[in-house]
Structure 1
Amino acid sequence: MLQIAEARFRGTLSSSRKYIKRFTEYVGALLHQGRIVEARHYFIELAELSPYHVNTVRLGYEIAIATFDNDLVVKYDRLLADSSSDISGLMMFRLKYYYSRHNLPACEQTCSEILSASTGKDCLPLVIEVCLEKKSYPVAVKLAGYLKENRLTLSSEGNQRLKNIVIVELLKVWKSK
């Protein structure tokens, strides 16, 4: 994938109308291959050429999260919120950011918003990961309701982990009485 994206990018003249698209694909491929430093280097050039295009903004948000650049996260969060009606994508980026920063209260709040709105389906794998990895009872409750409402199920291992989160919380409540 990376080699194809690079060949297409390098084979496109900068005067071509497809240059920005191929440049974006190349930077995205670098990022997804874990070549974050290279991706950021090329992204700076891309951002100068097409700073407000929605794909550039999304890529900038991903790079900001990957490099833990809080200032850029704020910048691209605002740009994405202002330029796109894709609430699902914005919520997904926010959840990725909070998860990368180990900000459990913000993760729980964002998961709740995702599952309460009709945007949950696209973000569901990340919500499940946050719930199970962080062992979050508030997310587990919302997630269980969402799964039931939408007639979805987790794998047997996922169901067991979800049940364990609830059982631990119930034991805490029982011990406190």
Structure 2
Amino acid sequence: MASFPNVYTHRKVADTASKPCEICYKPSASVLVSPENKDFFYVCSGHLKDRGFCSPIIDEAAVAAKKKKEMEAEVERVRKEFEEKQKKKKEKEKEKEKSKDKDKDKDKKDEKEEEKPDEKITLLTLAQKKPEEVTATPDEEPRVFALKKSFYQQRIDKKRNADIAKRNRERLQNPNLFPQVPKSLP
């Protein structure tokens, strides 16, 4: 009998190839496929979110690697911002050295004018950071699922019944299955 593990991968098909969902019979383009394509069935994406039907199998190593990659990207971004700020400070110091020759009153006005653009830049950078965080936070839908016990047993029974029916059809096509009519007189 055909037995397969309770691991199903979620895949999408074209809308033109959609078939009825096994649960609610509405047209669906989502398919759950077992390893080595031993079993597959169409299911609505809403049923995949139902904890009574299936549960996602989360690959902890992949999640940890993804978090590590995000942290490295964040560290790199912060490092670049810090280097930019350091460059700006050096430029200001150079400008201050050049402006020492000018009157002290003019120096105070320049410093006030320089501080205001910096505040605007920091506000702009903060405003730009927030949309990036929003786009990075939505989690991708899980792709691997494990069916609940009752639904998995239904899939195994359906596959087993299909194999039995196929075997019976093959037997019926074999002419040696039935006894022959006696050809000699008794």
Which one has a larger percent strand, Structure 1 or Structure 2? 2
TM-score by length of 1: 0.21
TM-score by length of 2: 0.20
Q: Which structure has the larger Rg over C-alpha atoms?
A: 2
Which one has a larger percent helix, Structure 1 or Structure 2? 1
**Larger RCO (CA within 8 A; separation ≥ 6):** 2
